[in-house]
Amino acid sequence: MKNIAKIFALGILVLLSSCASQQSLQEYYVDNQENPNFLIVDVPASILKLEEAELTNDQKTAVESLRKLNLLAFRKTGENADEYKVERNKVREILKNEDFVELMKINSTYGKGVVKYLGEDDAIDEVIIFGDNKDQGFALIRVLGKNMNPAHIMHLMQALEQSDYKGEGLEEIGQLLKG
């Protein structure tokens, strides 16, 4: 009987540790709020000034599904190059979680990246954009919404082109990445 109790207790410990071992993206943001190598900015959807633009019905639907953006950027310097590698690998591990569905890979002159999402194909709750430049650092953007779909991303991009938004409120990210 004691052996059964020990096996049962061990099984519960293994189950709890395996569930808790995978850090979530939200936990990663919170854990790095005080880290001076990171810049974290929460941006409400209203800052994009999309309500003032003349939008199609599809673009309006896309805008209404958007709630906010969470931006996290790590600026790489000569002093924090080792920490950059550690933090980049942590993000990559989090994004390997099978709950994240890959939408596309990005490979440009600015660096490499990936766009993933959480949710169902027709009801996306979160889009994640991860971009990495080995010389400058990385940026992680969480686009939070309700019942978004992949077409909404394209409609949002088109709506942004039509808006008067010039990047106000995001200057800190640009300055951080410029060095």
Which DSSP string do the residues of the chain spell out, in sequence order?
-HHHHHHHHHHHHHHHHHHHSS--HHHHHHHTTT-TTEEEEEEEGGGG-GGGS---HHHHHHHHHEEEEEEEEEE--SSSHHHHHHHHHHHHHHHTSTTSEEEEEEEETTEEEEEEEEEETTEEEEEEEEEEETTTEEEEEEEEEEEE-HHHHHHHHHHHHHS----TT-HHHHHHHH-
pTM (2 decimals)? Answer: 0.73
Give the mean model confidence (pLDDT) for residues 131-155.
85
> Which residues does residue 66 pair with via DSSP β-bridges, in sequence order?
145
Order of strands across the sheet that contains 38-44: 38-44, 66-75, 137-148, 123-133, 111-120, 101-108
The more confident residue out of 175 and 146 is 146
Look at 2-11, 26-35, 56-65 and tell me which has the smallest mean pLDDT.
2-11
| pLDDT for 170 | 54
d(CA 136, CA 77): 7
Q: How much of the chain exceeds pLDDT 90, in percent?
A: 37
The more confident residue out of 131 and 53 is 131
Give the mean model confidence (pLDDT) for residues 72-83.
95
| pLDDT for 44 | 82
